[in-house]
Amino acid sequence: MPQSGATVGGTCAKAPICLAQRLLKELTMSSSMIDILVVAGIALFVVRRLYVTLVQDEGPPEGRGRTPAPAPNPTPADRAPAGGDVVQLRPSFTGPAAAGMEAIFEADGNFDPRGFMQGARGAYEMIVAAFARGDRAALKPLLDTDVYEAWDAAITEREATGAEGLQLLRIRKAEITDASLADDGMARVTVLYESELGDGETTTRASELWTYMRQTSSDDPNWILDDVDTAD
109: left (phi over 0), alpha (psi -120 to 50) or beta: alpha
Q: Are 83 and 175 in contact (CB under 8 A)?
A: no
pLDDT band for position 25 (cuts 50, 70, 90): low
* Helix 145-161 and helix 113-133, axial crossing angle in degrees, nearest 10: 30
Q: Which residue type, as a one-letter code, is found at position 153?
A: A
Residue at 6 is within a domain: no
pLDDT (0 to 100) of residue 74 = 36
| In a shared domain, residues 110 and 180 | yes
| In a shared domain, residues 166 and 225 | yes
| In a shared domain, residues 211 and 139 | yes
| In a shared domain, residues 48 and 106 | no
| In a shared domain, residues 26 and 106 | no
DSSP assignment letter at 143: B
Question: Of 128, 200, 123, which is closest to residue 163 (Cα–Cα)?
Answer: 200
Q: Which residue type, as a one-letter code, is found at position 139?
A: L
| In a shared domain, residues 225 and 118 | yes
**Residue range 28-57: average pLDDT?**
50
Domain ranges, residue 187: 98-230
Burial of 49 (0-12, 13-18, 19+ CB in 10 A): exposed
| In a shared domain, residues 147 and 214 | yes
How far is the C-alpha of 100 from the C-alpha of 212, rounded, in Å? 13
- Three-state secondary structure call for residue 67: coil
| In a shared domain, residues 42 and 113 | no
Residue at 60 is within a domain: no
| In a shared domain, residues 103 and 216 | yes
- CATH of residue 207: 3.10.450.240
228: left (phi over 0), alpha (psi -120 to 50) or beta: beta
Residue at 8 is within a domain: no
Burial of 56 (0-12, 13-18, 19+ CB in 10 A): exposed
| In a shared domain, residues 28 and 119 | no
pLDDT (0 to 100) of residue 89 = 73
Q: Which residues contact 122 (CB under 8 A, 6 or more apart)?
A: none
| In a shared domain, residues 139 and 198 | yes
| In a shared domain, residues 47 and 104 | no
Considering only residues 147 and 67, tell me which one the structure prediction assigns the higher pLDDT.
147
> Is the entire prediction scored with pTM above 0.85?
no
In the chain, alpha helices (H): 15-27, 31-58, 98-107, 113-133, 136-139, 145-161
Question: Of 87, 120, 83, which is closest to residue 101 (Cα–Cα)?
Answer: 120
Residue at 86 is within a domain: no
Q: How far is CA 65 from CA 22, 68, 212, 220, in A?
A: 49, 9, 63, 54
Tens-place pLDDT, residues 183-221: 999 999 999 999 999 988 899 999 999 999 999 999 999
Provide the domain count of the chain: 2
Residue at 4 is within a domain: no
pLDDT band for position 84 (cuts 50, 70, 90): low
Residue at 43 is within a domain: yes
